[in-house]
Each structure stands twice: as structure tokens, then as C-alpha cells.
Amino acid sequence: MEDKPARRRLVLVPASAQGHISPMMQLAKALHLKGFSITIAQTKFNYFNPSDDFTDFQFITIPESLPESDFENLRPVLFLLKLNKECQESFKDCLGQLLLQQSNEISGVIYDEYMYFAGAVAKEFNLPNVIFSTTNATAFVCRSVFEELDANNVLAPLKDSKGKQDELVPGLHPLRIKDLPTSKIASLDKILELYKNTVDKGTASSVIINTSSCLESSSLSWLQQEGLDIPVYPIGPLHMVASTSTSLFEENKSCIEWLNKQKQDSVIFVSLGSLALIDINEAIETALGLDNSNQHFLWVIRPGSIRGSEWIEHLPEEFSKMVSGRGYVVKWAPQKEVLAHPAVGGFWSHCGWNSTLESIGEGVPMICRPFSADQNVNARYLECVWRIGIQVEGELDRGVVERAVKRLMVEEEGDEMRKRAVSLKEKLRASVRSGGSSHNSLEEFVHFMSTL
Ligand code: UDX
């Protein structure tokens, strides 16, 4: 009897953050369902311990000798630049070993856009290598033209705290200069260096983006027709394509019982993702604003996310009273379940791309308070393109919080946004169903990888 041909294997390299690990593991699941064997190659930072969902997968660790303190203390841009340099040689050894063991099986390497060392190594071995953008297509466009914007002096206002950052970026309507994916805690030079590496078109054979053409058709057209000369596959939202458990932290499910006792669309969910930090004063003003709005709220406060505090011990005494009245606070929530709950009528968010997709995917409108990078782009699109978000800018005080929450949760304006969000949710669902654009794009990608 003839041996069954081995399943073709893909090596996936996630970046070390919750917002990057989740979509990579969803992609891994989706490709496994399409018949590929999967190897996940990760570093020790934020190591993803596989749940029962991934028993069939191979997990390997890319050795490197960076201290944990670099991960904790270095700003993300500097850490990524350092990690990429550090991992290039050791990943070469890892991939070399894998090829020795199973050379006929390995079809290619898919790497997070910020783990570009993996693309360079795959190219050295002559393996197809695919960029996976866990952020959206518009942020990818911004990164692609960042060097050109700098050369044309468009970024000059970002170098000067008094610069006119409200002006529109030529060719990127409706983004303003301040909406570009930058960070207040990294120098523009370092950001330019990182972006140049993430969109190195000379290396990759194709790009997968966790988005849907119903959200970003013009950015996708630009990438497909002008920006990149390699195939681009918009296959998201991946949490709708392959739902799986990917949390790095323990989820407190008691909040679902609390939500079960609340009326429909009556609760505002407050969550700032896995990385954002706020000052104690911002936490206090948020608490007071939520209290003054008279709305019920479910608030995720991650341990360590309020600067100088372990958790909420430095918040004033009134905070406990507010929370026992109208609020519920947890350290980490089952966010997708929360957003799907009928009691949740709005989402106060930092607008990370996963949170944005999860919220739109449940038809929940948002209050947008971006912190850095692609979150600025997402917030602008939520407010001005999809018109399902209210952006809160500048210094945060209780009045600003109260006003934004009432606009979204009580006023007609919020109802209109909720209706638009529900209509967008239906479009997203259609795009991942058989015959939908993301569904077709995934099929095309699988075909592309199988024929290489
Ligand atoms: C980061 C960047 O901030 C983001 O802009 C980028 O697009 C991806 O990487 P993060 O800040 O963590 O990610 O935000 P986000 O992309 O929203 O991802 C957070 C994930 O954590 C979401 O999938 C969310 O469901 C999950 N989460 C968050 C929980 O499961 N429980 C929580 O309590 C909070």
C-alpha cells in the first residue's frame, strides 16, 4: 500500500504580545483546518502555552539571550529592533533543523509583520515567506509611505510639540498627521527604521491582512494595485473565521453573571487592551465621569496598568462605592463573550485592531481613546469612515468622560451609531461566509501556498 502524502507544513512566527498572538493562533487554526500541519516558532517573551485546541501543533522556542528586563523596560519599538537583530541567527538554526527533519514537508514561513527576521531567514533558505499583518490595511499603507512622507517633510509637525498636527495627510484622507501610526515614546528615526523593515517588499512573497474588504476597500486597492508588487490577501476578521482560546491571562467569567442581570444595551464596557498604561489621575477622572454618567459599566483594569499602582489600591475610597453601585471591575475579561452579550451597548476602547474587529463583529459602537501606533488610525476610521465611534481627544477629565458616555449610551446619536455598527457586523459576517470576500481570499491564499 502506498504511504499517504505528508500534510504540508507551515512555520508561523508570532510577535510577543497578546494582540499579535491571538490573530496568529486564529490564522494557525484556520490553516490547519485547510489541511496544513503547523509549527509555531515563538520566543520566550509572553510565551503562549497551547490549550487543548492546539494538540496537533508543533511548538518550538527560538533561542535568544535578551534579558526579561529588556522586554519590561525597553519601549516596544526599541525592543522589536533589538529582538529582530538577536533572533536572525538563532532562527536560521531552528529553521535549518526543521528542514533537516522534514525538508519535503515545509511549504513556507508566515511571520508577524514585526518579526521580519523570519522573512529574511526564510528567503535565505529559498522558502516562500508571507507577511502577516495583525494590524489593518490602512496602517500598512501608512507604514509603506512613511519614508516618503518624511522625505516630503509631511512628518515635520511630529518632530515639534507645537507642530500643526491637525492637518490632513496628503493622499491619506481622512487621516490627520496626528493619526499616523507613531508613538509618543519612540523617536521618529527609530519608527522609520522599524517600518522600513516591516514593509520590506523585496523579501516577502505575499501579504495576509487581518481585515475585510468591506472595511477598507480603498486601502486594499492601493496596496494591491500600487503599493505592493506581491499578492495581498484580506482574510479577516480571523476571530470569526477560526474561533479559539488564545488568552495569555486568566479570564474572570464572573462578569458574565453580572451582565446577565443588566438590561439590554445598558452597559458600557471599558477595556484598554493588553499594553496601554494610564496615570492615576486619568483613572480617577474616568471613574468619576462614568459615575456621573449614571450608566452601568464593566471595567477591565489590568494589574499594573495604572502607573505606580499594583492594581486599584491608590484609587480614592469613593471608587469602591461607585463600583458597588453601578459598576463591576475585573482584572481581565472574556472580552469577545462580553462584547457579544446583549447587555453591552457601548465599548470604551484604546482601539487596538483586535478590539476594534471584535466590537464591530458584535455590532457594538465605540468611544475611542487611542494611545499609540495603529490605534490612532483605527480611531479615526471608527469616527469618520465607519461612523460608529466617538473619539475622545486631549486631556481627560470627568466632564469629557461623562459627555462621551451619554452621547453613546443615551442620546439618539449613539442609537444611530449602533444601527450602523449592526449593519457593518452583518457585512463582516457575510465576508467570512462561503462566497464572501474574506472566505474567497483565504481559499486563494491556500491555493497560492499549495502551488508554490
Ligand atoms: C496591540 C496594539 O495595541 C494594537 O493596536 C495592535 O493592533 C495589536 O497589538 P493590544 O493593545 O493588546 O494589541 O490591543 P488589541 O489589538 O485590542 O488586543 C487585545 C486583545 O486582548 C483582544 O483580542 C481582546 O479581546 C483581548 N482582551 C483584552 C481580553 O481577552 N480580555 C481583556 O480583558 C482585555
At residue 3, the pLDDT reads 53
**What pLDDT, on the 0 to 100 scale, is given for residue 121?**
96
Distance CA 114, CA 267 (A): 35
Angle at 34 between CA 32 and CA 35, to 5 degrees: 70
Cβ–ligand 1 contact at 20 (below 6 Å):
yes
Q: Candidates 16, 18, 349: which one to mutate for ligand 1, based on the most atoms within 8 Å of Cβ? A: 18
Residue 40 · residue 48 · CB < 8 Å:
yes
- Cα distance between residue 355 and residue 357, in whole Å: 6
C-alpha cell at 315: 484609587
Q: Which of 299, 271, 248, 443 is nearest to 366 (CA)?
A: 271
Residue whose C-alpha is closest to residue 241's, from 379, 413, 436, 62: 436
pLDDT for 6 equals 59
Question: What's the rounded Cα separation, in Å, for the pair 90 and 6?
Answer: 27
Task: Name the CATH topology of 9-245+434-451.
Answer: Rossmann fold (3.40.50)
* Atom 27 of ligand 1, nearest CA residue: 335
Say how many Å lie between the CA of residue 342 and the centre of ligand 1. 21
User: How many A from CA of 6 to the centre of ligand 1?
Assistant: 36
Question: Is ligand 1 within 6 A of the CB of residue 431?
Answer: no
Determine the Cα–Cα distance for residues 188 and 199; give it in Å rounded to an integer: 16
Largest CA distance in the chain: 75
What's the chain's average pLDDT? 93
Measure the CA–CA gap between 114 and 101, rounded to whole angstroms. 27
- H-assigned helices in 269-373: 280-292, 318-325, 335-340, 353-361
Hey, where are the domains in the chain?
9-245+434-451, 254-410
Output the pTM of the full model.
0.96
Asked if domains 9-245+434-451 and 254-410 share a fold, the reply is yes
Would you state the pLDDT for residue 323?
75
Q: Which residue has the cell 509631511?
A: 154
Q: Contact at 8 Å (CB) between 286 and 364?
A: no
C-alpha distances out from residue 413 to 365, 387, 396, 405, 416, Å:
11, 10, 21, 11, 5
Instruction: Write the CA distances from 64 to 45, 60, 116, 194, integer angstroms.
Output: 10, 13, 16, 20
Strands (E), 236-332: 267-271, 296-300, 327-330
CATH 3.40.50.2000 at 254-410, yes or no:
yes
What does the alpha-carbon distance between residue 309 and residue 323 come to, in Å, rounded to a whole number? 18
373 lines ligand 1 (CB under 6 A): yes
Ligand 1: distance of its center to the CA of 26 in Å? 14
The per-residue pLDDT for 67 is: 83
Residue 255 Cβ inside 6 Å of ligand 1? The answer reads: no
All residue ranges of the chain with pLDDT < 70 are 1-6, 103, 201
The finding on whether 275 has its CB within 6 A of some atom of ligand 1 is yes
Instruction: Tell how far the Cα of 222 is from the centroid of ligand 1, in angstroms.
Output: 27
In this structure, the residue with its CA closest to atom 2 of ligand 1 is 352
Chain segment 177-236, per-residue pLDDT in tens: 999 999 887 889 999 999 999 987 678 999 999 999 999 999 999 999 988 889 999 999
Which residues are CB-contacts of 198 (< 8 A; sequence separation ≥ 6)?
A: 113, 114, 116, 131, 143
Distance (Å) from CA 49 to ligand 1 centroid: 18
**Residue 85's CB: how many other CB atoms inside 10 A?**
12
Torsion of CA 366, 132, 169, 182, to 10 degrees: 80
b/e sequence 286-306, b meaning 16+ C-beta within 10 Å: bbbbbbbbebbbbbbbbeebb
The pLDDT, as a whole number, for residue 4 is 55
The three cell numbers of residue 178 are: 496626528
The edge-to-edge listing of strands for the beta sheet with 344-349 is: 327-330, 296-300, 267-271, 344-349, 366-368, 389-391
Residue with cell 470627568: 398
User: Would you say the CB of residue 129 lies under 6 angstroms from ligand 1?
Assistant: no
Q: Does ligand 1 lie within 6 Å of residue 358's CB atom?
A: yes
In which region does residue 182 sit, left (phi positive, over 0), alpha (psi from -120 to 50) or beta (all else)?
beta
